[in-house]
Amino acid sequence: MNINTTKIISLLFFIFSAFYLYTAYQIQVFAFDENAPFNARTFPIYLGYAGLFFSGLKVVLPEPNTIKVDHKNLEYKKTVILIIIAIIYGATILKVGYFLTTSLFLFSSYYFLGERRWVLMFLLSFPFVAAFMYLLHGILDIYLRDPFLQSIGVMG
């Protein structure tokens, strides 16, 4: 049987809804609330059933317009690299600080997307982030913790 990707996504959503429903039934409510007309688990339980209903219908009903995605033409490599850069950004920002991490995040993103104009890449990363940081920290008064700038004495 040839099953299309939309049906697979719907099936995954069906399984997710079943898991959500199971978890909803596990929500601990106060003893006096157990038989109340509405408690903390009521709405999630309805949602779980709604998810099962709609995804179940999508799996069962015929698909009038099958969406075909040409995977050969998709740029997976660059997309995955950008996601990895974003994850590394998340992992380092608290330890290294906003300025250096964000500047490197931008610089490496330009590089991996194929840019090679080094001066422009530099200008649109380090000075750009510094200006943006000044806008947030200096003008809008949004505190940005930055151990790197603190260690070199730029930030108090």
Partner 1 sequence: MIEGILIGLTTALTLQNILMVMVGCFFGTIIGMLPGLGPMTAIALMIPITYGFDPATGLILMAGVYYGAVFGGSTSSILLNAPGVPGTVATSFDGYPMAQQGKAGKALAIAAWSSFAGGTLSAIYLLFMAPSLSKVSLSFRSPDYFALMILGLTAIAAFSSKGQFLKAMMMVVLGLMLASVGQDSLSDITRFTFSNMNLTDGISFVLVVMATFAMSEALTIILKRNDPTSAAKQVSLTELGSIKINKEERSKMYKTIPRSSIIGFLIGVLPGAGATIASFLAYGMERNVVNDEEKEKFGKGSVNGLSAPETANNAACSGSFVPMLTLGIPGSGTTAVMLGALLGFGVQPGPRLYMTNPEIFWSIIMSMYIGMVILLILNLPLIPYIARILAVPKNYLIPLILFFSVTGIYVMSFNNFDIYLMIGIAVVATFLRLYDFPMPPLILAFVLGGLMEENLRRSLLLSNGSWEFLWDRALTACILLITILIVIWHVYKTMFKKTNN
Residues of this chain that interact with partner 1 (CB under 8 A) are 5-6, 9-10, 13, 17, 20, 23-24, 27-30, 33, 36-44, 47, 50-51, 54-55, 57-58, 61, 64-65, 67, 69, 73-76, 78-79, 82-83, 86-87, 89-91, 93-94, 98, 102, 105-106, 109-110, 113-115, 120, 124, 132, 136, 140-142, 144-145
Shortest separation between residue 124's beta carbon and partner 1, angstroms: 6
Nearer to partner 1, 73 or 152 (CB): 73
Q: Say how far apart CA 93 and CA 81 lie, in whole Å.
A: 18
By C-beta, is 71 or 152 nearer to partner 1? 71
- Smallest distance from the beta carbon of 25 to partner 1, in angstroms? 12
Q: Which of 109, 62, 58, 65 is nearest to 83 (CA)?
A: 109
CA distance 71 to 67: 12
Give the integer Cα–Cα distance in Å for 34 and 28: 9
Residue (47 or 130) nearer to partner 1, CB: 47
Least distance from C-beta 148 to partner 1, angstroms? 15
126 contact partners, CB below 8 Å, separation of at least 6: 103, 107
> Between residues 117 and 151, which has the closer beta carbon with respect to partner 1?
117
Nearer to partner 1 by Cβ, of 84 and 154: the residue is 84
Distances (CA, A) of 39 to 19, 36, 48, 50: 20, 6, 15, 18
Is residue 86 within 8 A of residue 101, CB to CB? The reply is: no
Please give the Cα distance from 125 to 22 (Å, whole number). 47
Question: C-beta of 152: minimal distance to partner 1 in Å?
Answer: 21
